[in-house]
Amino acid sequence: MTSRNREGRPRVEGTLIVRRRAVTAVLAATALLLTAGCSSGDGGGGGSPPSAAGSAPAQSPGSGSPSPSGRATDEPPPAKGSVDVVRTVAEGLDSPWGVAPLPDGGLLVSSRDEATITRVDTETGKRTELGEVPGVSPEGEGGLLGLALSPDYATDHMVYAYFTSAGDNRIVRMIYDAGEPAGQQLGAPDTVFRGIPKGFVHNGGRIAFGPDKMLYAGTGEAGDTGLSQDQDSLGGKILRLTPEGEPAPGNPFPDSPVYSLGHRNVQGLAWDSEQRLFAAEFGQDTWDELNAIEPGGNYGWPEAEGDSDDDRFIDPLAQWSTDDASPSGIAYAEGSLWMAGLGGERLWRVPLDGTEASADPQSFLTGEYGRLRTVVAAGGDKLWLLTSETDGRGSPGDGDDRILELEVR
């Protein structure tokens, strides 16, 4: 669980608050920036962002007449509501953090502290170390963190990684050549983005390519709370970049990679079936958050933690007591967002209706596998779940850490 400064901060009774009313719609300025993104002449893979998280879901034929809120009046199909562990895919992993599913069904897994990337065969559990990523400086919550495959992976075989170096957090890309001997399958890293603030805590680290083929990165404020509200800082933000590391066309702030601000430590990114972006965020003493992300949106930290009466800030979709969540990875499957909890040692399900929760969150696997770091959609009703007992804050036992296959029912 992320280090928390509890001095002078009151505890809040109860465990969670769920937002079932609609998230505030994106204002006209956001609509204009999306239009600008669509008209961009950049040829780097579709410049405009996915539809904003605060906008109404797109209507499909036969979906019913829109209500005044912009949603169809027909009831949405029910989300599947439980999850079962099908099997343990692999075990004995050391400080695993990021996961990237391969087209052939395998998984690439990063080791935060060993700075290695390992391929896991999801059928047999066999592990093959691709190699060590040079330049990683593991310390505290920093090290080799998120992984993502290039949107053109079928032709370029590029693997992207977010890591902590001696001076900053950065994003690199490397060619993965499975034809080379084990331990030598990673090419030399090419740094595509650097200068993200680093610290002993709050290094963010999740990266993912969105439906628009742009690279999104969740960053932390590295323990310096003032960075989150500083639009010119890369700390405490969600960044949106081209695959080459340039500010993506259509971003809300001119010539800036910043997509949203006012975050404390973002470690979960996922899109729903309507291409809306959601993010999980560590709170401090009171509330952890699940947010629906709007381009240019300000999520309040450090002025607000959880819900706020300040209309400058966007309230979370759902919030939890920090003892029940400490969220890291999130994934979307079968109509719900699934959120891995470190300190909470459980998997949360948040069923969605647009950008609202359609029912109270449910928790699964509470205390059964310890700290849960990353959850990844595996297609259909399957999820991959990564435990995190060997990160220095757990109580590792035989078999830790492991990858589990889950089935949503």
What is the pLDDT averaged over residues 119-136?
Answer: 98
The answer to whether position 46 is within a domain reads no
Confidence of residue 166 (pLDDT cuts 50, 70, 90): very high
In the sheet where 144-149 sits, what is the strand order?
144-149, 158-164, 169-175, 190-196
At 319, list the tokens.
């919030």
Contact 122, 136 (CB under 8 A): no
Cα–Cα distance, 134 to 93 (Å, whole number): 20
Cα–Cα distance, 266 to 214 (Å, whole number): 18
Cα–Cα distance, 52 to 24 (Å, whole number): 11
pLDDT digit string (tens) for 136-153? 999 999 999 999 999 999
Confidence of residue 47 (pLDDT cuts 50, 70, 90): low
The answer to whether position 150 is within a domain reads yes
Structural domain tally of the chain?
1
Contact 264, 236 (CB under 8 A): yes
The answer to whether position 383 is within a domain reads yes
Kindly provide the residue ranges of all beta strands, DSSP E only, lying in 294-368, ordered along the sequence. 318-321, 327-333, 336-341, 347-353, 356-357, 362-364
Judge whether residue 9 has pLDDT over 80: no
Q: What is the pLDDT of residue 26?
A: 36
pLDDT digit string (tens) for 366-376? 999 999 999 99
Judge whether residue 345 has pLDDT over 70: yes
The answer to whether position 191 is within a domain reads yes
pLDDT digit string (tens) for 235-281? 999 999 999 999 999 999 999 999 999 999 999 999 999 999 999 99
The answer to whether position 36 is within a domain reads no
At 76, list the tokens.
């949405």
Cα–chain center distance at 331: 8
Q: What is the pLDDT of residue 15?
A: 54
Judge whether residue 39 has pLDDT over 80: no
Q: Is 28 helix (H, G, I), strand (E, B) or coil?
A: helix
Q: What is the pLDDT of residue 81?
A: 80
- Lowest-confidence region among 56-60, 165-169, 187-191, 388-392: 56-60
Taking 3-state DSSP, the helix, strand and coil percentages for the chain, each rounded to the nearest 5, stand at: 5, 35, 60
At 267, list the tokens.
């470690």
Q: What is the pTM of this model?
A: 0.85
What is the pLDDT averaged over residues 323-336?
Answer: 97
At 52, list the tokens.
């904003």
- Lowest-confidence region among 73-77, 191-195, 260-264, 284-288: 73-77
- Lowest-confidence region among 24-28, 103-107, 149-153, 160-164: 24-28
Contact 294, 30 (CB under 8 A): yes
In the chain, pLDDT over 90 holds for what percent of residues? 79
Which residues span the domain enclosing 334? 16-25+80-306+314-408
DSSP class of 37: H
Cα–Cα distance, 218 to 203 (Å, whole number): 9
Judge whether residue 43 has pLDDT over 90: no
Whose tokens are 């500010």? That residue is: 247
The answer to whether position 8 is within a domain reads no
Confidence of residue 18 (pLDDT cuts 50, 70, 90): confident
The answer to whether position 34 is within a domain reads no
Domain of 108: which CATH number? 2.120.10.30
The answer to whether position 33 is within a domain reads no
Contact 220, 228 (CB under 8 A): no
Cα–Cα distance, 153 to 68 (Å, whole number): 43
